[in-house]
């Protein structure tokens, strides 16, 4: 068996390390594949290469597992995600979604195999319809998971854009120039400065419209670090 972990970010502000840590915690021996792209680039060459490699391994009889931190990391949108899911499922690949375990392929496969036994009587026509309906329900659960993930991402992007427009309209200076010192007299790292600029730009406590949870996800910080930076910004 070969276990792969696929981690993906779409902006440099996101934290890919958290995805990797979550996958490694569940599967310490997983081979991690990382994908990063920004701007208008939507190509995923590493994902495409992984799929081709998986096809070759499956044809040799190798058992393959691909783990994701969450369903939204598998694809850019719901339609693409569901198509990828079906393709890999039909190939016999085991898919694991750490934050949505109910749609792991193991559960889907079990749902499809849990058919009502036929009786050899006229009632079998009804039981056949029940089995078909159970299959439709299982597939719909997969579709809903991808659609929900896409809706959450779209919503966050919308709120982020609104925050940027609001800050620009107010004509506010966001953040501090790189290399300047914090209130404690020490020079802040470039990463800390960038994180604080994002917080000050998008948090509703400053110039933006995002809640703490939304802003924390956008900037990719641990909870303690996020609130530490907020306190330092307010102290100014």
In a shared domain, residues 176 and 143: no
The answer to whether residue 211 scores a pLDDT higher than 70 is yes
Residue range 110-165, pLDDT digits in tens? 766 665 566 778 777 776 676 666 556 656 777 777 677 666 655 555 665 666 56
124 occurs within a structural domain: yes
164 occurs within a structural domain: no
160 occurs within a structural domain: no
To the nearest whole number, what is the mean pLDDT of the chain?
77
**Residues 51, 99, 222, 150, CA torsion sign:** positive
Residue range 169-189, pLDDT digits in tens? 666 554 445 444 554 444 567
Question: Residue 95 forms beta bridges with which residues?
Answer: 66
Alpha-carbon distance values, 41 to 12, 34, 44, 75 (Å): 13, 16, 9, 14
Helices (H), 60-123: 78-91, 105-113
CATH of the domain at 104: 3.40.50.1390
* pLDDT-wise least confident of 20-24, 153-157, 192-196: 153-157
Alpha-carbon distance values, 137 to 71, 89, 106, 133 (Å): 19, 16, 16, 6
- CB count in 10 Å sphere of residue 21: 12
Name the residue range of residue 216's domain: 172-235
Domains held by the chain: number: 2
Looking at residue 40, its pLDDT comes to 46
Instruction: Give the angle 48-145-22 at the CA atoms, nearest 5°.
Output: 65
163 occurs within a structural domain: no
52 occurs within a structural domain: yes
155 occurs within a structural domain: no
Quickly state the pLDDT bin for 39 (edges 50, 70, 90).
very low
Looking at residue 136, its pLDDT comes to 65
């Amino acid at each position: 068996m070969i276990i792969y972990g696929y981690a993906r970010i779409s902006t440099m502000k996101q934290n890919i390390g958290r995805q990797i840590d979550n996958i490694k915690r569940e599967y310490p021996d997983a081979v991690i594949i990382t994908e990063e792209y920004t701007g208008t680039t939507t190509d995923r060459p590493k994902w495409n290469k992984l799929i081709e490699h998986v096809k070759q391994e499956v044809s040799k009889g190798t058992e393959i597992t691909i783990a994701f931190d969450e369903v939204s990391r598998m694809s850019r949108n719901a339609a693409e995600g569901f198509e990828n899911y079906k393709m890999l499922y039909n190939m016999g690949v085991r898919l694991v979604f750490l934050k949505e375990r109910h749609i792991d392929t193991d559960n889907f496969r079990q749902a499809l195999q849990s058919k009502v036994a036929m009786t050899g009587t006229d009632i079998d026509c009804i039981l056949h319809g029940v089995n078909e309906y159970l299959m439709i329900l299982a597939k719909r659960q997969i579709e809903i998971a991808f659609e929900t993930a896409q809706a959450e991402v779209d919503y966050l992007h919308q709120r982020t854009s609104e925050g940027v427009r609001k800050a620009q309209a107010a004509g506010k200076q966001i953040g501090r120039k790189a290399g300047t010192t914090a209130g404690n007299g020490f020079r802040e790292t470039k990463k800390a400065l960038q994180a604080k600029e994002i917080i000050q730009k998008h948090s509703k406590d400053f110039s933006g419209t995002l809640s703490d949870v939304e802003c924390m996800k956008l900037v990719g910080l641990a909870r303690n670090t996020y609130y530490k930076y907020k306190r330092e910004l307010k102290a100014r």
